[in-house]
Structure 1
Amino acid sequence: MSIGVLAAAGLYVLLNAQAHGDASALAPEDYPPPPATYDRAYAKQRAVDLSALGKQMFLDPSLSASGKQSCATCHSPAHDYGPPNDLAVQLGGADMTHHGRRAVPSLKYLQTVPAFIEHYVPGEDEGDDSTDQGPTGGLTWDGRSPTGRDQARIPLLDPDEMANTDPAAVVAKVKAAPYADTVRKLYGGHIFDDPAKAFAAITEALEDFEHTPAEFFPFTSKFDAFVLGKAKLTPQETHGMMLFSSADKGNCSSCHTFSGPKTLPVFNDFGLIALGVPRNPDIPANADPAYYDMGLCGPQRKDLSDHPEYCGLFRSPSLRNVATRTVFFHNGAFHSLRQVIEFYVQRDTNPEKWYPKKPDGTIDKFDDLPVRYRENVNMDPPFGGKPGDKPALDEAEIDDLIAFLQTLTDGYKPEDDTAGR
């Protein structure tokens, strides 16, 4: 059953409010009364209408202070709901001249991301139940948003993004929008009388749209066709899949979980990890040598700043549609998939390729973290080794791994695939 159907009875929002203590969240009595008896057609139509409303809001630039920026401006439908360009950070703000501080992630394949938890222990059917995998889950790069509606608040109110001064400003814009009557139809004629509840309705509609299967988790890649027995991988793609899973090669599946045949994974364990990505001078905030984006421990996330072991950790993304991206990692430091893979396998064997030199001529490795937190950086394969060692993958193997990652791109059509025949 979709979130929209649950919302028709008010159950989803009620449970969410209880879980997160949101006094402004919608309750069952805030919705127009459903038919006296359960009506599947009514519930289905309401779900469709709510998703369509969310899509209108998602595409509407009038919901920004500038009147020029919609959710889709940064999360472009034509670019797998990721950024439409290779800028490290996007422009926004009331005058569209403000720079963000993090790269824009894709909104696709987020429907299974769990709420953030500090200590995640897999069930017995998933692995060793005595193993604490550490911080896991949550939306955004630092995992601070437990649900899609919580995440939707951030760009609407961030002064560097859509830059509304407060929720009431967003509500006023929606009230003046052509679809205001649809909001009244779905949430009651008096919904705009209470700005807090109206804002909750707006973010709920956005969240519902972002749970639309055909848009956000279609599972239409060549890999999906392969799992379903409708396509064959080429020898190069097959070898790339082996390298992806091999612990002494790519070892990608250690974070981007791949369960093997007969499953349609999202290629993500939802964990948070420090990778030691080099500092990106293209982010204006980095011009201040005292500024560091340390992910889980701040500065944008505030509740875990007293956990030094979390500094530098960012949530790993799904690898679906990764081959369509032109900006990678939380700081947008890299702009090609090859560059990303080369960084993984050469970070420790060829650090001079990725990091600047200090005044004394030594390499300033992991330069986007204060020295005291650099021990948090992950050293599992394909990382590790010492300068001069042979990287885990050579150039031909990188080609093969990229070929496999390209099979994760949605929109595959068997009739157009001559290489896989």
Structure 2
Amino acid sequence: MAHWVTRISWTLMPAACAGWLLAAAPAPAEQAGLSRAEVYRRAAALTDLGRRMFFDTRLSASGRLSCASCHDPAFAYGPPNGRAVQLGGEDMRQSGPRAVPGLKYLRATPQFQEHYHDSDEEADESVDNGPTGGLTWDGRVDSGHAQARLPLLSPAEMANASVAAVVERARAAGYDAELRRLFGETLFDDADRAFDAITMAFESFEQDVATFEPYSSKYDAVLAGKATLTEAEAHGLALFNDPAKGNCASCHISERAKDGTPPQFTDHGLIALGVPRNPEIPANADPGYHDLGLCGPMRTDLQDRPEYCGLFKTPTLRNVALRTTFFHNGAFHDLREVVRFYVQRDTNPEKWYPRAADGSVRKFDDLPAQYHENVNMEPPFGGQPGDEPALTDSEITDLVAFLRTLTDGYGT
């Protein structure tokens, strides 16, 4: 696979981070004073352990679900099919309320902040970007090992009844000896400590640059001067960046940072888009149920902040063309339709939302009326019914052509 990133510090980061994980974990005195080579060897071992556990169904209560079941490497560690939500649980018949997010290009995600100030030079206190950062659709955890806890213990996913149950399944699967070598012989004297070690292994694997951050798309090759966009792709990029047309780059940043860091195609912010309610999600059969993202119900610390209701994380657009499930509720299954929704949500709302008994269109039907003012109205949104959308059909075609250049593995 071609790699277009040459910054050495990026290639060293996973091992250094894994070394930090080892140092952060409780460990016996004999692990102190390790040589640099030994630290890197242990980091590599921890990453390899996390990789094997990631694909192991034995860590689930059903014995049939692994992390890779929902985060398939063939789909950029995103969902392997077009289901709005994946099935799991002890009987593999349970489903949660949200679509599976991708796991690639997450390492640059900042910790969650309600008031995020950022610039290429230094924090600019005059610009408040609002709620930003964190992992998951609502940004409620800030680290890979904290995120790994969620599916392991979720009744709708791997369905382990407790931390101790995860630890026992890891031991039964034969990982105990390796975990003791990395974290100390007394590791399993404390189930919480052992569970932390397991989740650290997952995090170490998910920070592996070659796997999760190869920066090997055609667009990366273009930025490196090793490829050229076609006419349609170049036009699509111009539309992507144009504030009066796609305006995609306002949230999905497409340029390198001044320090040369490759574009992440996200600003890591949280935003309300007014995505239509998805009847494919079982929880939505209850008309009183609403997934409000940042203000609940999964995230509980901001439930008293109505201005946050309906906000969800802005995902990276890298590898977006490999997905067949889009947005937090999986309401769309085709990339072209996603772009069409953006530009026609307000000009042609009847295409996206149901009608009320009086024939009126029920816009933003997955969000209670008191939160409709939270929905983003910046271009390409906005306009009135009957207005011309910001993009024509041919422009949508070119924009999608550009988005396809963000798929990893170009030239392989």
TM-score (norm 2): 0.94
Matched letter for residue 250 of structure 2: S
Q: 1:33 aligns with which of 23, 27, 30?
A: 30
Whether 1:239 and 2:235 are equivalent positions in the alignment is yes
Q: Decide whether aligned partners of structure 1 residues 207 and 11 sit closer, same or farther in structure 2, where only a CA change above 3 A counts.
A: closer
What are the equivalent positions in structure 2 for 1:333-344 lying under 5 Å apart? 333-344=331-342
Name the structure 1 match of 2:121.
125
Amino acid at match of 1:112: A
SS of the aligned residue for 1:2 comes to helix
**Contact 1:31 1:186 (8 Å CA) reproduced:** no
Q: Tell me how far apart the structure 2 counterparts of residues 238 and 263 of structure 1 sit (CA, whole Å).
A: 21
Match of 1:274 in 2: 272
Alpha-carbon distance, 1:302 to partner: 0.5
Aligned partners of 1:227 and 1:263 also within 8 Å: no
Aligned mates of 2:21, 2:262 — CA distance in 1:
31
Does 2:95 correspond to 1:99? yes
> Matched residue pairs, number?
399
- Please, which moves more after superposition, 304-313 or 189-198? 189-198
In structure 1, what is the equivalent of residue 164 of structure 2?
Answer: 168
Amino acid aligned to 2:90: A
Cα gap change, 1:127 to 1:407, in 2 (>3 Å): farther
> How far does residue 126 in structure 1 lie from its aligned partner after superposition?
6.6
Superposed CA deviations along residues 188-218 of structure 1, whole A, max 9, x for unmatched, are 1221111010000000000000000111111
CA distance in 2, matches of 1:263, 1:150: 26
Q: After superposition, give the CA deviation of every residue in 1:343-379 in whole Å (9 maximum; x if it has no partner).
A: 0000000000000000111000000001111110000
Q: Is the 8 A contact 1:238 1:404 kept in 2?
A: yes
> Aligned runs of 1:225-304 on 2, under 5 Å?
225-259=221-255, 264-304=262-302
CA contact (8 A) 2:247 2:380 kept: yes
Cα distance 1:171–1:4, how it changes in 2: closer, same or farther (>3 A)? farther
In the alignment, which residue of structure 2 is the partner of 1:76? 72
CA drift of 1:32 comes to 6.6
Take 1:280 and 1:346, find their aligned partners in 2: how far apart are those partners?
18
For residues 412 and 179 of structure 1, the distance between their equivalents in structure 2, rounded to whole angstroms, comes to 36
Q: Report the alpha carbon displacement of residue 260 of structure 1 after superposing the two structures with TM.
A: 5.3
Q: Of 113, 138, 160, which residue of structure 1 is paired with 2:134?
A: 138
Identify the range of structure 1 (169-178 vs 338-347) with the bigger mean alpha-carbon deviation: 169-178
Whether the 8 Å contact between 1:32 and 1:187 is mirrored in structure 2 is no
Distance 1:79 1:312 in 2: 27
How far off its partner does 1:34 sit? Answer: 3.7
Q: Does 1:306 align with 2:315?
A: no
CA distance in 1, matches of 2:120, 2:78: 35
> Residues 240-262 of structure 1, C-alpha deviation per residue, up to 9 Å, x if partnerless?
11000000000000001122596
* Structure 2 portions without partners, runs of 5+: 1-11
Q: Alpha-carbon deviation of 1:179? A: 2.6
Structure 1 residue 12, shift from structure 2 partner: 6.1
Paired AA for residue 125 in structure 1: E
Q: CA deviation at 1:335?
A: 0.3
**Match in the other structure for 1:399:** 397
> What SS does the aligned partner of 1:407 have?
helix
CA contact (8 A) 1:9 1:34 kept: no
* 1:214 pairs with 2:225: no
Offset, 1:43:
1.6
1:41 Cα deviation after fit: 1.8
User: Retained in 1: the 8 A contact 2:90–2:159?
Assistant: yes
* Higher RCO (CA-CA < 8 Å; seq separation 6+): 2
Normalising by structure 1, report the TM-score.
0.92
Deviation >6 Å, runs of 4+: none
Indicate if the aligned counterparts of 2:310 and 2:374 stay in contact, CA closer than 8 A: yes
**2:219 corresponding residue in structure 1:** 223
Structure-2 residue corresponding to 1:193: 189
C-alpha separation between the residues in 2 aligned to 1:281 and 1:123? 40
Identity %: 59
Q: In the alignment, residue 372 of structure 1 is paired with which amino acid?
A: Q
Structure 1 residues 99 and 187, CA gap change in structure 2 (3 angstroms): same
| 1:95-122 alpha-carbon deviations (Å, 9 max, x no partner) | 1110111000100000000110000122
- 1:175 and 1:192 in contact (8 A); partners too: no
Q: Supply the distance in 2 between the matched residues of 1:401 and 1:35 (Cα, whole angstroms).
A: 54
Matched residue of 1:304: which SS?
coil
Q: Structure 1 residue 33: deviation in Å?
A: 3.0
Which secondary structure does the structure 1 equivalent of 2:406 belong to? Answer: coil
Listed one character per residue, the Cα deviations across residues 61-117 of structure 1 (whole Å, up to 9, x for unaligned) are: 111111110011100111110011100000001111101110001000000001100
Structure 1 residue 143 displacement after superposition: 0.2
* Uncovered stretches (5+) of structure 1, i.e. residues with no partner: 14-25, 417-421
Q: Who is 1:147 aligned against? A: 143
CA contact (8 A) 2:215 2:408 kept: yes
Partner of 2:63: 67
d(CA) in 2 for partners of 1:275, 1:367:
12
